[in-house]
Amino acid sequence: MHWLNIAKILAATEAEGPGLRFVIWVQGCLKRCIGCCNGDLLKIKPVHICRSNEIIMKLIESKKQYPLEGLTFLGGEPMLQADGLADIAEAAQNLGLSVICFSGYQKYELIEEQFIGSQRLLAATDLLITGEFDQTKTETIRNWVGSTNQQFHYLTDRYNVEIETRPLTVTNEWRINLDNKIVGNGLPFEITMK
């Protein structure tokens, strides 16, 4: 098992990919996309350090509690923690869940020499969504991406291009957390209000 630096986990949401999904946001990104919706996740600093097996246990519990379709990795930049996320992606596949991974890098850049564990993670990923967010190329047609330059790579036959424009029942969610703050999820930007 590997160590991970996690910014946030949601046990179940419909706003981060097709179906009900367990979602992990990792902390840290080397990209600096102007207008990034998760700007507070860019800084490489410890937030919640844990082992991948701890998250796998949370995933198993969530699957018992909710009718999950899959797992989504966001960030930050997931490829910076590919080894640990590969542990979780492999466990998700063993549970019959789909895996979606977002990356600001292009697919050809995701080589093992650059990102340790990237090949394991890609081997356990059904859908890879790549490319930096470009606020000058706002996406208004496809689901889950913020700009038209971002690309969908179907690594298995679990999903196909139809999901990109399929009408969604949930595009964003509003939650009230235990601190009585309203938190938006699935938006092109994160909102937290008191």
pLDDT computed for residue 188 by the predictor: 42
Alpha-carbon distances, residue 108 vs 2, 79, 157, 182 (angstroms)? 25, 13, 20, 39
Alpha-carbon distances, residue 152 vs 84, 124, 148 (angstroms)? 23, 16, 11
pLDDT computed for residue 134 by the predictor: 87
Please give the single-letter amino acid code of residue 11.
Answer: A
Distance (Å, whole) CA 68 – CA 77: 23
pLDDT in tens, 77-130: 999 999 999 999 999 999 999 999 999 999 999 999 999 999 999 999 999 999
pLDDT computed for residue 150 by the predictor: 95
pLDDT computed for residue 191 by the predictor: 43
Per-residue pLDDT of the chain (194 residues; tens, 9 = 90+): 899 999 999 999 998 999 999 999 999 888 887 777 676 777 889 999 999 999 999 999 999 999 999 999 998 999 999 999 999 999 999 999 999 999 999 999 999 999 999 999 999 999 999 999 988 998 889 999 989 999 999 999 999 999 999 886 545 555 555 666 655 555 444 445 44
Segments making up each domain of the chain, as ranges: 3-193
pLDDT computed for residue 126 by the predictor: 98
pTM for the full predicted model: 0.86
Range 162-169, long-range pairs (CB < 8 A, 24+ positions): 163/18, 165/141, 166/18, 168/14, 168/143, 169/14
Compute the 3-state secondary structure of the chain and give helix, strand, coil in percent, each to the nearest 5. Answer: 25, 25, 50
pLDDT computed for residue 146 by the predictor: 87
